[in-house]
Amino acid sequence: QSCARSMGSAQSKQLDTWKYDDFQIIRPFPQLPFGHESIVKLVEQPEVQLTMKSFPYKDESDKKAVENYVQMLNKTQSEYTLHFFGAFDHDDEKCLIFEHCSAGSLRDLIQTMKDLSLEERMKKLPRFLFHILSGLAYLHLKGIIHGNLKPEDIHIDKDRKMKIANYGFNVFRESISYNKTLESNEQQLIKELIQDKLNPSHDIYSLGIIAFLILTGSHPFKDQTSDESIFKDKLLTLPDQVGDEIKEMIVRMLNKDPTQRPFALELLDSEMMRTQANIEKEQQIQLFQKIKDDLQVPLIGSELEDKLIIQTQESGCELIISKLKDKKDDEGRKSAIFIGVTSELSNIFETRDLNLISPVYIDSFECLSFPSDSIDIRPLIFAKKNPYPGLIRLLQHQNDKVVLIAIKCIGSILIGSIDETEVNKLKKIHRASVDLSEIQIGRIKLKTIIKKNLKVTVNLTLRQMENQALCPIKWWIKWIKTKKKTLNENEVWLKSNQSEIMDIDRCSLNVRLVLKDAGIPENSRVTSIRAASITKAIQNGATVDEINRWTRHSSMANTIQRFYDKNNNDRLRGLLIL
């Protein structure tokens, strides 16, 4: 069984109610300078193996540091970082629970690769680098630096995915004294720390050493003394057989000048990493296709044949859970749904004997129907196949957990459908093409399409105004000067304060956030603000024609806007600002 599936079954006992006696130590690791670590299992579910890390605290400052570390872990969950389940207090220490990666660490893997040829090592390196760089890019975007990345910190799960562990220790271990011989990468980091505090380039340097080690089995500064490696930065030469792209990448990562090292995102944009990304995506698609094909197989054979079919299907569901549970991989969810995994699960829910539907089926469906905050894929579930008949049928299941998750899935998909309705309303808005050829004489022309009733093209002209507080030309020029990124075709706006591009699906939510930031009450929405503007315009003496032209309340106003370019609402704007 996968840890993800078993942990899903453990949710009846909430993570924040765990205590030390709920676990049994299987194997302790040697004492660490900053605490201790053990492989443990849940007493109630002995098949679940986890990693427990315990950090003692002597005073309140130590306790606060550990609490900060826990908060950081709760905010940094990625498919390429070691999964954090939760934490609890025990005596004078905090116990943290992580997933246990049964395939060991990258250090273990490098040891098994010692007899491989250089050609075989070069074939493996792109995949290793892609996983590690993806994890580093995620952490760096969160403002988190590992600070001392080593092969031991790269864990490998049963699906051979590499996950970064032990990141963020610098938050609370600054007072720890290390009495051990430092490796050359640690020496270099100390040298850089003397000059400046940690930044992403330090992790890139450490990854360069790891890449060199994977290729050659040797440390890039192996034959030099400590003083030479720190102050002379003599790098061993890579073998001539190493490809130019790999060689250039490693040399750049090991540049002695931190400011000249590439960022993780920059490296991920290289041709080699883009190729690997496509390979990873294709492998995932192939996996979901196989799972879907297995789910399609009907139970019409002998009892033994049907049992083997169910076992195969349950294994596929477990793979879905291990890959998607608590992961922000909505592109993966989207692929699985589009391929038809949720449709086949729905078919099983509708037609199979309820006694033959184990919890793992609905567990996997739940992983697909609860997106993270990046893409709402729930409307796609309904578009592929109506899931409600099958989910409603599961309410008759004898297993309470199956019933509970079915209810949650029904609610989630309903919410997604409501949100999709709002998005469809928003899609009436279309981006405009802009003619700035006359901006110097105080005129901007806009051409857009409105699909509110009939699809019509609308030409608008913005003009210079004497009142600079109202002048749209001034606003536009200021926007052009501050705009730092050109938007793509499917992007609506750029939130410059967060460097975040909003697509159509997220635009509606962020309109509400803008209103909130402006101090507008939550019960006041765009329509109510518009209504208040009309009321104020009337009170301040605006004519019916001005209001109709401004609000498009009449077909005559629509015709004027489309064909006669009379949308000069300067007087009405002036009335509204009074």
What pLDDT sits at residue 527?
A: 61
Residue 351 has pLDDT above 80, yes or no: yes
- C-alpha 92/C-alpha 82 separation (Å) is 25
pLDDT-based confidence at 308, cuts 50/70/90?
very high
Nearest CA to 406 among 372, 365, 435?
365
Residue 196 has pLDDT above 90, yes or no: no
pLDDT digits (tens, 9 = 90+) for 214-238: 998 888 876 544 444 444 456 677 8
DSSP one-letter string for 367-412: HHHS--SS---HHHHHHHS--HHHHHHGGG-S-HHHHHHHHHHHHH
- C-alpha 31/C-alpha 54 separation (Å) is 11
Whats the size of the chain, residue-wise? 578
Q: State how beta strands 93-99 and 162-164 pair.
A: unpaired
Sign of CA dihedral 428, 510, 411, 490: positive
Nearest CA to 327 among 284, 272, 269, 379?
284
pLDDT digits (tens, 9 = 90+) for 445-497: 776 665 444 455 666 677 777 766 667 777 667 666 655 445 444 444 444 44
Residue 170 has pLDDT above 70, yes or no: no
CB 139 within 8 A of CB 145: yes
Lowest mean pLDDT among 102-111, 177-186, 276-285, 424-433: 177-186
Lowest mean pLDDT among 4-13, 333-342, 391-400: 4-13
Nearest CA to 204 among 139, 133, 138, 124?
133
Q: Which helix (H) or strand (E) holds 363?
A: helix 359-369
Residue 118 has pLDDT above 80, yes or no: yes
Calculate mean pLDDT across residues 290-318. Answer: 92
Residue 423 has pLDDT above 50, yes or no: no
Phi/psi of residue 440, each to 5°?
A: -70, -20
What pLDDT sits at residue 474?
A: 73
- Helix, coil or strand: residue 361: helix
Q: Which helix (H) or strand (E) holds 415?
A: helix 400-426
Percent of the chain with pLDDT over 70: 65
- C-alpha 54/C-alpha 69 separation (Å) is 12
CB 447 within 8 A of CB 475: no
C-alpha dist (Å) from residue 395 to 77, 194, 403, 408, 515: 32, 63, 5, 11, 41
DSSP one-letter string for 160-194: --EEE-STTGGGT-TT----SPPPHHHHHHHHHHH
Among 79-88, 415-424, 513-522, the range with the most confident prediction by mean pLDDT is 79-88
What pLDDT sits at residue 299?
A: 92
What pLDDT sits at residue 5?
A: 42
Lowest mean pLDDT among 36-45, 117-126, 437-446: 437-446
What pLDDT sits at residue 228?
A: 40
Amino acid at 354: L
C-alpha dist (Å) from residue 573 to 432, 447, 567, 570: 22, 21, 12, 5
Lowest mean pLDDT among 142-156, 366-380, 555-569: 555-569
Amino acid at 164: I
Calculate mean pLDDT across residues 360-376. Answer: 81
pLDDT digits (tens, 9 = 90+) for 541-552: 777 667 666 665
- Please name the residue that has the structure tokens 């942990």: 7
Residue 576 has pLDDT above 70, yes or no: no
More confident residue, 344 or 568: 344
CA 318: distance to chain centroid? 21
Calculate mean pLDDT across residues 7-16. Answer: 45
C-alpha dist (Å) from residue 550 to 108, 196, 460, 545, 560: 70, 57, 11, 8, 11
Q: Which residues pair with 107 in a beta bridge?
A: none
More confident residue, 440 or 53: 53
372: how many CB neighbours lie within 10 A of its CB?
15
Residue 410 has pLDDT above 80, yes or no: yes
CB 262 within 8 A of CB 204: yes
- Give start and end residues of each alpha helix (H) in 220-302: 226-231, 244-253, 264-268, 271-296
Lowest mean pLDDT among 32-41, 222-231, 376-385: 222-231
pLDDT digits (tens, 9 = 90+) for 248-278: 999 999 988 888 899 998 899 899 999 998 8
What pLDDT sits at residue 531?
A: 67
Phi/psi of residue 447, each to 5°?
A: -130, 120
C-alpha dist (Å) from residue 409 to 324, 337, 348, 391: 15, 14, 15, 8
Lowest mean pLDDT among 101-110, 220-229, 411-420: 220-229
What pLDDT sits at residue 346?
A: 95
Residue 499 has pLDDT above 60, yes or no: no
pLDDT digits (tens, 9 = 90+) for 503-540: 545 555 666 666 666 566 666 555 666 666 777 777 77
Angle at CA of residue 145, ends 140 and 147, nearest 5°: 145
DSSP one-letter string for 498-517: TTEEEEHHHHHHHHHHHHHH
More confident residue, 292 or 445: 292
Question: Which residues are within 8 A (CB) of 73 and not within 5 positions of it... i.e. 6 or more apart?
Answer: 84, 96, 168
Lowest mean pLDDT among 74-83, 288-297, 385-394, 440-449: 440-449
| Average pLDDT of the residues of the chain | 76
